[in-house]
Structure 1
């Protein structure tokens, strides 16, 4: 690895440019600030990314390198900038010669992974000891940090939660757009401090318009002035001067009518379209920003109707990723590919740091912080001698998604600035209060640790903490099928085909014709698609619509009045959605004995631990090693062994029955167990309690497939024994003992399994319940929820690595990535 004498040399090698003064200061200061407040276009992204990389890899002082987290988590409130940010960081890593493909082959490189709707790359979980950069949307990242990851199997929630809570630098950009998610991010930072983590996991919040007081919560103080970084005098008079003083002349374009009837919207859209066509300069970019998708769509239709010479694009959040990626690629395209010019009509999705520079900007009135961000998309680098910004006023009745008070504060300043330039150096400050719509409390956090669904198969809704909008979203996707009900083996939806739709709009869609009431949801317990009612439509869920019913346009996005069939974008290589009894733990490239698999997992765990250095205490390391040795002992259970060797013809069955197997060669036919919902890891955990009595080891063993964690309980549809015996997940009291089993470095004597721990309170044997054991682990000062989930993730990663080398199933929607 190249050694750089100074940060400036390093920055030039990565970007080809000299750093601004504040970028240098950020990298070299003893501790990173809590807040970075600098104008739009000042290079915040590279400032933070390269500061982290310098401190992690190239800083001369070993102590500072070791104290820098191995994961950089870059969180954006909107998806528009995600790909651009990720590619910018990749370009720097590539120039520095340390970009890794992320396939596990390069242990010394740094990989970059995207997490957003349509492109959620969680493959980095397999190598928790590696340095990685994660760039994603607020929805994807915060939901994972809350142990309820959007767009991912519920059985992967815990390891994602653990890895994103330990040994990470969280960076939140454009925080003025985060809504309730900002409060949640600050609360999570406070809880990590109070509960404890492994390594360090600081947070850095960034914006051009934020107030440090926004970061104060019921459990967290606002940053001290010394922990807030702003531009200094050297930057104001240095290379940034042209950007800071770019001339942008502000003028009022008109006032919208009150939108009482559809004709009012049509008339307003025609007025805005007329202003667009009047002020658009051929060969340049005109950007129009509306506060709602409905008005943006109406303006787009009016502009298209006029038939302008230049290309017209509509960008908003109600497109499927498959189409939206193409639109964003066009949006980010350079001016040489603009075919003479472009008119872009958008919503707030362009506010989040999109690197656009328009000659003309037309916007509706908005809160001051939003207006400043929109103005940052005009004459961004000072490339025009003068540019135009036009604004339309709105009535208080049409203020949504904002408040009338927010718009009133902006209106006062807008009228004072009429005809003046609103360059970054001249924009007056307007301190704005921040009041989250939903406050994430400590009680909420603790309730989210357990990922077991309730008896109906549903979960706690975290959308109010992730974003907290008035009409939160669900996901919908479209498919074709011939039978009355969707087939249970139909491929699971890929994120590329899921369209975000407000809850209220989907409910209105369902109230239409009887055929449109056919909205379907997946049941994780039964493993079947079931018809959804209006009450089933709540945030964070994904629903299936029949493609022939319409409801979507490739040029306009979610379009409930469209009856044209929607293109089915299914990926036939994907398996069916996951369900409770599904798993890939029994397939490999060949027969693998339990002894061999245990040795392999212990070996893979040691490789991970070596890469992590001394981040974990010695006693915890030893508990992990023991858990790795014992994790699959439950596969010695007769139900599991009979499922593997029972279907074999004689004499092969007799031959195979002399060994205890962990995996069998992969076949097209999925393994069937004599007891529905059988879980070998529960049997393993009960064996650990019987022989070792150690709660931590038992928990890690139980949780390594994500299905047995906070509680042990039976499922309504599982096989029931007679005589009133206790039963859960295919394990019964009174089962034949597990035979003497060779686990590689250990031979375990016969084991009688008892489900006494699933009862509440103290059992007849004097041992506490499973629920009490987990509660004790969560309350231990040396463990707690964040550390416990992190330890889960390490054992899971070791098991995945071993299974992969044994020729196990490829990544899919289940518990193996």
Structure 2
């Protein structure tokens, strides 16, 4: 408060460690406590006709940029140190009963009404076979329930506990000393699961995703000034609501990158491994390249564990210079196409059980020629993963960091553009979703 100084205005100061707190306020100054780190908070709003910007503290830029990389097994993804003290780090647990002594493959995930926050440092006692978490199966396959291990104790982890072993009292909440069986919360029937109900060709999905990207940008664009930077970090100052009420000024060069990335984002699904996955369950699949399988004819299991089609998209774009002209920011387009699932961004890391592959892609793999309804043709290619391997030069990470740190882009603008492509992909996929049969 002393740093704010004396002002001839009324004010409300909200001090909180929760990222989402006070989001409905329109403050002139917002102070956030960020654990042991001091991070600048810049709020640029219009209050009573006066634009005000207040910056308190200093950026810990290296920490911020470290959080930008969401590579597999990255140790930088835990944001708990930014938003809470060690004593406040919690897991979320629910209690269930099982005749077989543990959850089956069909066990539903915990609902919000079941969850109880529990300090992480008090959960060690249940790691003796009484706790389960949902995690990727062996080889990175479908998610399954398995017994919780010490390395699972991370902030926000959701666990199921055996109700027969106690640990909860209705009038106290978490009670690790209690051996009284817990009465599980009765959960209502699961809402119908929405799945793809038709076969969707690759060209159709790419065209529809580009269309959704154009509709999304049209809805977002308003009469606000250029997206500005905060502290040299490439932030945004003109965010508004979707629907044309206020808006974001997305310069044309970024719009074009988003549209092209949406058009090309799933090119990598042309790979034979992904096409086999879509057709693995049989059915009446049409001829040609597919983007989505009609339920229930895809098993969701690939013959190559960890296979990521967006890595193939990145390789096809990075080594296919015919598709862009001088006016296209081809590195930005390639990055946005690669990043649309969050697995291939600043880096792409091979799993421990991948001797020759990286995210399921092997040097020498070939992609077929792909012709789009836009008239563009991507010739057949032989894929090389050297750009993603540090021991081979690792050009991808260097180029992605340069893009992230470019004065005209920056991490916040880049993340915003990523979100546009991702949301366009969601919306185009939703066009063909419906309740699961039965």
Instruction: Tell me if structure 1 keeps the 8 A contact 2:130–2:165.
Output: no
Deviations 1:543-570 (A, max 9, x none): 2211222222333322233313231455
Query: Does the alignment pair 1:442 with 2:61?
Result: yes
1:218 match: 58
Change (3 A) 1:175 1:496: farther
2:242 match: none
Aligned partners of 1:715 and 1:736: how far apart in 2?
22
Change (3 A) 1:502 1:448: same
- 1:634 is displaced (CA, Å) by 1.0
1:202 match: 44
Gaps of 5+ in 2: 1-6, 48-53, 223-248, 325-329
Query: Does the alignment pair 1:481 with 2:98?
Result: yes
Change (3 A) 1:471 1:799: closer
Query: Does the alignment pair 1:675 with 2:317?
Result: no
Deviations 1:468-519 (A, max 9, x none): 2535322222122233543344222233322111223333x549xx6xx623
1:660 match: 289
1:531 match: 147
1:551 match: 167
Change (3 A) 1:490 1:76: farther
- 1:799 is displaced (CA, Å) by 0.9
Query: Does the alignment pair 1:600 with 2:208?
Result: yes
- 1:717 is displaced (CA, Å) by 4.5
Specify which structure has the higher proportion of helix.
Answer: 1
Instruction: Tell me if structure 2 keeps the 8 A contact 1:473–1:540.
Output: yes
1:72 match: none
Aligned partners of 2:189 and 2:69: how far apart in 1?
32
Gaps of 5+ in 1: 1-32, 39-43, 45-74, 78-137, 143-167, 191-200, 206-213, 220-440, 577-583, 721-725, 811-817
Aligned partners of 1:752 and 1:778: how far apart in 2?
28
Change (3 A) 1:793 1:561: same
How high is the TM-score relative to the length of structure 2?
A: 0.75
Query: Does the alignment pair 1:37 with 2:11?
Result: yes
Aligned partners of 2:99 and 2:39: how far apart in 1?
48
2:134 match: 522
1:760 match: 390
- 1:538 is displaced (CA, Å) by 4.0
Instruction: Tell me if structure 2 keeps the 8 A contact 1:452–1:707.
Output: yes
Instruction: Determine helix, strand or coil for the equivalent of 2:118.
Output: strand
- 1:687 is displaced (CA, Å) by 0.6
Change (3 A) 1:502 1:648: closer
Instruction: Tell me if structure 2 keeps the 8 A contact 1:170–1:204.
Output: no
Instruction: Tell me if structure 2 keeps the 8 A contact 1:76–1:174.
Output: no
2:238 match: none
Instruction: Tell me if structure 1 keeps the 8 A contact 2:95–2:163.
Output: yes
The 5-angstrom pairing of residues 2-41 of structure 1 reads 37=11
Q: 2:221 aligns with which of 613, 629, 637?
A: 613
Deviations 1:188-239 (A, max 9, x none): 535xxxxxxxxxx63799xxxxxxxx973134xxxxxxxxxxxxxxxxxxxx
Aligned partners of 1:502 and 1:174: how far apart in 2?
32
Instruction: Tell me if structure 2 keeps the 8 A contact 1:490–1:575.
Output: no
Q: What RMSD in Å do the two structures reach over aligned CA positions? A: 3.8
1:466 match: 83
Aligned partners of 2:130 and 2:366: how far apart in 1?
47
Aligned partners of 1:769 and 1:465: how far apart in 2?
31
Instruction: Determine helix, strand or coil for the equivalent of 1:529.
Output: strand
Query: Does the alignment pair 1:774 with 2:400?
Result: yes
Aligned partners of 1:518 and 1:475: how far apart in 2?
15
Aligned partners of 2:379 and 2:186: how far apart in 1?
53
Instruction: Tell me if structure 2 keeps the 8 A contact 1:76–1:173.
Output: no
Aligned partners of 1:679 and 1:572: how far apart in 2?
33
Instruction: Tell me if structure 2 keeps the 8 A contact 1:550–1:566.
Output: no
- 1:796 is displaced (CA, Å) by 0.8
Deviations 1:277-335 (A, max 9, x none): xxxxxxxxxxxxxxxxxxxxxxxxxxxxxxxxxxxxxxxxxxxxxxxxxxxxxxxxxxx
Deviations 1:790-814 (A, max 9, x none): 111001111111111122689xxxx
- 1:466 is displaced (CA, Å) by 0.8
Aligned partners of 1:570 and 1:174: how far apart in 2?
42
- 1:710 is displaced (CA, Å) by 2.1
Instruction: Tell me if structure 1 keeps the 8 A contact 2:71–2:348.
Output: no
Change (3 A) 1:502 1:173: farther
The 5-angstrom pairing of residues 247-646 of structure 1 reads 441-454=60-73, 460-468=77-85, 470-507=87-124, 509-510=125-126, 518-524=130-136, 526=138, 527-533=143-149, 536-562=152-178, 563-570=180-187, 573=190, 588-613=196-221, 615-646=249-280
Aligned partners of 2:364 and 2:155: how far apart in 1?
43
1:47 match: none
- 1:629 is displaced (CA, Å) by 1.0
Instruction: Tell me if structure 2 keeps the 8 A contact 1:714–1:728.
Output: yes
Query: Does the alignment pair 1:180 with 2:34?
Result: yes
Aligned positions, number: 385
The 5-angstrom pairing of residues 15-94 of structure 1 reads 37=11, 77=16
2:420 match: 794
Change (3 A) 1:809 1:454: farther
Aligned partners of 2:357 and 2:414: how far apart in 1?
27
Instruction: Tell me if structure 2 keeps the 8 A contact 1:604–1:798.
Output: yes
Instruction: Tell me if structure 2 keeps the 8 A contact 1:170–1:203.
Output: no
Instruction: Tell me if structure 1 keeps the 8 A contact 2:279–2:298.
Output: no
